[in-house]
Structure 1
Amino acid sequence: MPRSKRSGSTRLLTVLVAGLLCCSLLGGVGAVTASPSDVYVTVSDIAVSDDEPTTDDAITVTPTIRHSSGHDGGFQVTQVVLEAPDRGKVDEADALGAIASGETIDVPLQTTFDTAGEKRLTVKVRGIKEDADGNTQQVGVIERPVYVSVSEPSSDSEPDPRLRIDADRAVAGTEVPVTVTVSNGDDEALTDLVAHLDSNGTVEEPTRIRPTLEAENMTTFEFQVRADEPGPDRLEAALEYDDGNRVETVQPIRVEPLREDVDLYVSVLEHNESTALQYRVTNRGNAPIDDVSISGQTESEQLPGATIATVDAASAETVSIPIDEALTGTAEIEAAYTIDDRRNRTTRTIDLTETTATESGVGLGGGQSIIAAGTSSAGSLFGAVIVLLGLGGISFLGYRQWNR
């Protein structure tokens, strides 16, 4: 081969290799989202209250969700679902708040079975990873199977009433609503019902009374339990009926430590020649805050105050107040609130000249959830465009070199 052709081929190969390396680097820059491999969230254990129940027995399936990522930030547990292959979703819990790296959360779910046989249940966990800067990333569904052997109940005696305990998320120092459901599967009414709930914490009015429960019917008893200390606990429900008969059930729960994290923000909104001052209170903790009172002061005037009845755990609430004209300068704002039977407050300094926005940029509505996926396709799209342009340029340069 003549030297000129060999030289041209060598230059063409060099151009192609260099171009492909540049495209790969630029494409990598486009996909700048956190890798799901950085998020280590697992269902580390599943406890079953009775793995050999009879039909219509209520069992409790309690998965333990563990967050073990090696960096700052939390994992927002948005939904935990219990599914059965023949019935779909049978129970769920949502808006469970955030767990930090190294922490776990137990989520009790309940179900019953209409038929006997080997049953395969599935626990599904969904959530959002949040880093220390507040950036969020949707995490795919985490699944784990549970196997239960169900048998038919004995027909030799009359069925006892069935008890079921349902409890909200338990946080130390806060009240937990608990419901005890009594089902009467007999063909005769129950009389003189006395329901009692016990716990390691404090149960407000632990005894409830009903005169009767009709045949093939059900009723509920509502309780309030205050969990005093974090850690494992158990709810024990008992029902006395028909002058001496008694049935009991136990529900294990885990009491989380109280995590308090309240943030405050203020902005000035302009829309249709009207101006409003908007406060936003964000509760990133795991317990609701009540009786929120907001006040503020600029260098020259007092800001209008506002109140919010309750901000639930892992959520945010906003309130807008019409004002005559836009405010400028620095504002000192404060929110006082009640949590764990005590009054607390948070403060923040905001430069109002940098917070003015229109309604198209910031909503004027009410409460909003802070659990939102921080996904974006812009990086991936940019990378794909760069790769295509790079390949087109390489083809053009290669053709010119070959033609020479």
Structure 2
Amino acid sequence: MLDSRTIEIIKSTVPVLEVHGETITRTFYQTMFKNHPELLNIFNHANQRQGKQPTALANAVYAAAANIDALERILPVVRGIAHKHRALGILPEHYPIVGENLLGAIKTVLGEAATDEIIEAWSKAYGIIADVFISVESDMYEHSEQLPGGWRGFRRFIVDRKVQETAEATSFYLVPQDGNPIATYEPGQYITVKVKPEGQEFTHLRHYSLSTAPGAAYYRITVKREDGDANRPAGIVSTYLHQRVQEGDILELSAPAGDFTLNQNLQSPVTLISGGVGLTPMISMLETLLQHSEREIVYIHAARSREHHIMKEHVEALAADFPRLKCYTVYETSTADDLCDKSGYIDATWLSTIVPLQSDFYFCGPVPFMQAIYHALHEMNVPEENIHYEFFGPAGSLDSSASNPN
């Protein structure tokens, strides 16, 4: 437990973190990777370049500081991060490295304002916070290993099938090389793929949502190829999976993880909303609901156009077989032959005419898309406890002015 003086000092730094948090975390990552380049085998390089990871860490540090006297308030955030840490293979021995470099970054950025008393207080606080993460992650490692078909670390899987869904999206059906059973999972969870493409100095790890209901003898992921443009480079892992990995090849996977999961204990209607490749966890949830419940379901998918609509025929077939499933399609651009339900974007006015307001809402997609959905649901007065969403990559915030969901 922290003494009252340490808590007082930590809380006094909260305004400073609001101003300098991202500068501190950027400095932290730069210094840590310089001192420990081997950690580049774990962290997502693209998130570092785009600034997502420093922002996410700054938010987490801010939340921890603001709640240092009652860390149980941020346990949901801790569990979400811990799921990703477990899936990446973060271990207790990594935490002293993080602590040393984080404290060094605080001193570097704040200079003389980071007194010895402040650094000592943060050292104590970090020790408490690290212990919470280590404890939660230890339980997760043990749980994933003890599940029937579960394992710790990474396990080799064969690409049994590779199915092109659209010009830029491909599904990979993965079966264990050892022939043993695989762990079940909660609809909405993800696995982590570890690869080392030719010419790359470090291994690369990426989380991919499982895109089918649990219970099969395989895992399926559906990956959109990130080609890049003038503002961002092509995705190293997605390009490698699309262009290099073939049926019969081996991929290393961590056991399923993630806290964005379907609540299967309710009987209320469910509305699933996806944008682009954000449909992957939605398909897992949809198939599970159809197999194991009698709940009314509305599924809305938004895509740039008909050509970019992933698994269109699959969802249409499900809707034909299950009258309690109502499906709607929104295309950003459409032609008279596309037969979509709406052109343009999803908005509150249209959404309120097709969904039961007492629904549980789940959605996933690009961040601007999710911001638009989040604000539409609030405009419709949907209770916060009925709103569930998943970020691809480091967690961010949707609680800002909705931007154009382009």
Q: Normalization by structure 1: what TM-score? A: 0.23
Larger helix proportion of the pair: 2
Larger Rg: 1
Q: Normalization by structure 2: what TM-score? A: 0.23
